Amino acid sequence: MTAREQLREWLLESRKAVFFGGAGVSTESGIPDFRSKNGIYRTISKYGVPPEQILSHTYFVHYPETFYEYYRENLIYPDAEPNAAHKGLVYWEKAGHLKAVVTQNIDGLHQKAGSTNVYELHGSVLRNYCLKCRRKYGLEIITETKGVPVCPHCGGQIRPDVVLYEEGLDDKVITGSVKAIEHADLLIVGGTSLAVYPAAGLIRYFRGSHLVLVNRDETPYDRNADLVIHENIGEVFAEISHD
């Protein structure tokens, strides 16, 4: 039995599977991982600082113009479409085997594909709000404006509903993610190096039968997994998601 066949068999046996994913899930939709070396080098050469600094709370407060220039260029991909990984997860949810998706991504592609129970650890670019009156806005308030976006109702500054560096994760999202993982009988971790905390630490709550890691590169948790697949996650789900 191949590794892909084993994963499919475990999914068929599962009734409470959970998927935990990272940037690698969306790279096949044309959304680059800004943590890659090339992305970091390009950012430093243009802005003089790494992405993590630009996307920090401190930088957002003190240099909002530069923050939004970088944000629009590197984090928003309104034309991106779900790939085989996103669609495969929807297949397993509709079949009654997958109960939740926990994602570190902020692109909203899981919901666009059709997943209904998604915990977005780092928020979403699709949601924005006014810091002054708290009025909520969609992505257009960012894409259809230039410079620092302001609320047309009160003039307050708009900010994305994403978790910046130096900020804590949302308590409700964390609680929901932990409960889903705790009750899962199968945990599939895909497209993530498991290097970003506290998100990566969530898999420690898993007490189920099988831990599966699907990632092109090795991760610190490979030795703890019941099954490791070093392949593109979209290709894996394209093969295993069928009747």
| Residue 230: CATH number of its domain | 3.40.50.1220
Task: Tell me which residue of 197, 193, 195 sits closest to 213, measured CA to CA.
Answer: 193
Residues 53 and 103 in one domain: no
8 Å CB contact between 229 and 236: yes
8 Å CB contact between 37 and 119: no
Q: Is the pLDDT of residue 40 over 70?
A: no
The confidence score (pLDDT) of residue 38 equals 60
| CA angle (149 as vertex; 148, 155 as ends), nearest 5 | 110
- Hey, is 162 helix, strand or coil? strand
Residues 142 and 211 in one domain: no
Total length of the chain? 243
Residues 86 and 146 in one domain: no
Active site residue 110: no
Q: Is the pLDDT of residue 162 over 70?
A: yes
* Domain enclosing residue 61, as ranges: 37-74
pTM for this structure?
Answer: 0.94
d(CA 29, CA 204): 29
Question: What's the pLDDT tens digit per position in 181-239?
Answer: 999 999 999 999 887 777 778 999 999 999 999 999 899 899 999 999 999 999 999 99
The confidence score (pLDDT) of residue 180 equals 98
The confidence score (pLDDT) of residue 109 equals 98
Catalytic residue among 57, 122, 183, 242: 122
Q: What's the structural domain count of the chain?
A: 3
Residues 52 and 87 in one domain: no
Residues 46 and 97 in one domain: no
Residues 48 and 92 in one domain: no
